[in-house]
Structure 1
Amino acid sequence: MIRFGMPWPGTDVAREAEQAGVGAFCTGDFVDHDAYVTLAEMAAGTERALIGPAITYAFSRTPYAHATAMRQLHAKAPGRLFLGLGTAAFRINRDWLGVPADHPVDRAAETVEAVRAWLRAENGDKIRYSGRFHSVDADVRAPVLGRLDIPVLLAAFNRRMAAAAGRVADGVIGHGLFTSSWWREVVRPAARQGAAGDARTEQGWIITAIDDTAPERAVADARRMIAFYLTVKTYDPFVAHHGWEAPVARLRAAFRSGDTDGMAAAVTDQMLTEIAICGTTADAKDLLARRTDGLPRDVGYFAPPSFLVGRKRRAAYARSSLALLGAVPA
């Protein structure tokens, strides 16, 4: 069975979740939280679970900065860390972060390699990496290094990035939109091709909203989350793969006009059942049972919707998702 994970729900819920059997927690970057600051809280607030960013913005920090943060946190949670890197949207890099983001696949692949050069440096060795986007030639005389085999994963949505993840990273991190057919027909074949047949770790997000007292609201939250994700044109190959161009055109028109209810209404029942786990606990278990090949092989993050959903309701969804422990298919 896959390892049941969830986005970091805060120390109180996480303690309850870890005791119940949740085996992994992840965090990320956004305008109101920093992946590595949150990861320090996660290291202090957990005992056994895997922890790491899934994802942190790859281009917002140098490879040195990513690696030193992980090296320091390793002292607090040895053997439990992973590093998930993601390119983020082009506009985020350009308009928020003010960093180059051209050639994102090649740049991300080099970032993985350069971060790994720092993580695997032994005391007394020079750290060297030479690429198109990153160059390192560091002679660190202080005895503070030593090889750390922290897995470095790469978030991948489309074929080229999945192939890069297979080629240079220790695994791939899937998006919350992923369906069974997208994993099976697009992501896994590309990652295998990049890895020349070698297996790679799979992690991934699953939009999960369970509420036995108000299942209609949970379903509406899941629909809005799906709609919000699909406003991004980067995912057009995914939309075309499923034949969902018409409803996506409607939800994007609703988004442009600020009609969030219209966005949710544009998400069809087929889209909802293929992407999300939502409704009552019984509904969620039934949907989960149908996703035998639609989940990441190794770690699945059962993630509450975040678009127009407050912290209190997200925490309630996190607690409700614990009912799925033991129901995750092999």
Structure 2
Amino acid sequence: MQWGLPWPGAEQARAAEAAGAIAFCTGEFADVDAYVTSTEMALGSSSAAVGPGIAYAFARSPFVHASALRHLHRLAPERVFLGLGAGSFRMNRDWFGVDSSHAAPRMSELIRVIRAFLTAENGEPITFDGRFYSIDADVRAPVFGALDIPILIGAFNKYMVRTVGRDADGILGHGIFTDRWWSEAVAPELAFGAADSGRSVDDITRWGWVITAVDDDDPEAAIAAARRQIAFYLTVKTYDPLVELHGWQDEVAAIRRAFRESPTTIGDHVSDDMLWSIAICGDTAQASEMLGKRTDLPDVGFLSCPSFLVGRRARARFNDAAIGFAGDRLAAIG
């Protein structure tokens, strides 16, 4: 597994690149914009790939996605990627005020329209007549020229994973993805989608977030932080198929009860099986053992420190530790 980090800031990014990081990514929320942070990444790094991982797909038009990517490419030539996520139906409707129904076919069209804008040459009109997007753009200004920017999709359910196989360059896996989820749920659907469009599944990259909390001075605190992060993610019912695959229904029911009553205790209900299936945590020795037991990690793993109930200083320490761990351990196993 090659590795990167969610954007840690320019100072830690320089250390990460020196240790072998090949990519930085960013999510977004009500107070964080994926493209603004991607600009920070482009200006604060020198060799690693940079891009949203993920940007809310339907909150922006294809034109806006593509123009942002062209701008980023000028700042970081040949280093830009795009990671898109559909977001929930309620978030799209109530936060963004946009329609996200039929998310998988809508994402398929969005990818194709963004690519049309990115591959256009100067003087070439961009046209698209689809179910969700209708484009007739005759941009006379000399601002185009074909760009090869990889498009990855944050996908969980089988229909979106199939869309990756059909249309995208790669998948961005969630931090709760286990070896079994990658091999038993993701791989067959990627292959299904690829075959449907006459592509080789081997050409589809697999990137993903990996919950990572290493602390040689206080390994129990690192383990507790990883447990809380896993529990926080599993409060979302979207991930119930993964829970059912592993037989974790009782643990997750307890997590959700605790989340309503005492959120700080939710990590107490994350079993060792859950922890070892999802995270890399503890002191260097345990984290190395956990890494060694994983059999189906993503091709590029973003070592993501816990953020739920973790302060900024603690996240910075976790990032420093992840950089040191990855530079030593991941380089050794390739």
Bin the TM-score by the shorter chain.
over 0.9
Asked if the contact 2:190/2:201 (under 8 Å) is kept, the reply is no
Structure with greater helix share of residues: 2
Asked if the contact 2:52/2:81 (under 8 Å) is kept, the reply is yes
Give the superposition deviation at 1:245: 0.8
2:307 aligned with 1:303 = no
Asked if the contact 1:4/1:325 (under 8 Å) is kept, the reply is no
| Deviation by residue 1:198-248 (Cα, 9 ceiling, x = unmatched) | 320111000001111111111111111111111111111111111111111
Residue number in structure 1 paired with 2:252 = 248
Residue number in structure 1 paired with 2:313 = 312
| Whole-Å separation in 2 of the counterparts to 1:284 and 1:312 | 21
Deviates more, 1:12-21 or 1:167-176: 12-21
Give the superposition deviation at 1:40: 0.7
Residue type of the alignment partner of 2:257: A
Residue number in structure 2 paired with 1:234 = 238
Give the alignment of 1:124-203 within 5 angstroms: 124-196=123-195, 197-199=200-202, 200-203=204-207
Give the superposition deviation at 1:261: 3.4
Asked if the contact 2:55/2:83 (under 8 Å) is kept, the reply is yes
Structure 2 residues not aligned, in runs of 5+: none
Residue number in structure 2 paired with 1:63 = 62
Residue number in structure 1 paired with 2:210 = 206
| Whole-Å separation in 2 of the counterparts to 1:96 and 1:3 | 35
Residue number in structure 1 paired with 2:279 = 276
2:271 aligned with 1:265 = no
Residue type of the alignment partner of 1:123: N
Give the superposition deviation at 1:326: 4.5
Which of 216, 220, 245 is equivalent to 1:216?
220
Spell out structure 1 runs of 4+ moving beyond 6 A. Answer: none
| Whole-Å separation in 1 of the counterparts to 2:37 and 2:326 | 25
Residue number in structure 2 paired with 1:96 = 95
CA RMSD after TM alignment: 1.2
Residue type of the alignment partner of 1:238: L
Residue type of the alignment partner of 1:260: P
Number of aligned residue pairs: give it.
326
Structure 1 residues not aligned, in runs of 5+: none
| Whole-Å separation in 2 of the counterparts to 1:102 and 1:31 | 22
Give the superposition deviation at 1:159: 1.5
Asked if the contact 1:3/1:24 (under 8 Å) is kept, the reply is no
Residue number in structure 2 paired with 1:287 = 290
Asked if the contact 1:224/1:260 (under 8 Å) is kept, the reply is no
**Superposition TM-score, scaled by structure 2 size:** 0.95
Give the superposition deviation at 1:91: 2.5
Residue type of the alignment partner of 1:152: I
Give the alignment of 1:107-122 within 5 angstroms: 107-122=106-121
Identity of aligned residues (%): 54
Asked if the contact 2:19/2:326 (under 8 Å) is kept, the reply is no
| Whole-Å separation in 2 of the counterparts to 1:91 and 1:319 | 36
| Whole-Å separation in 2 of the counterparts to 1:308 and 1:115 | 37
| Whole-Å separation in 2 of the counterparts to 1:58 and 1:231 | 23
**2:152 aligned counterpart, secondary structure:** strand
Residue type of the alignment partner of 2:321: S
Deviates more, 1:158-167 or 1:87-96: 87-96
Deviates more, 1:270-279 or 1:308-317: 308-317
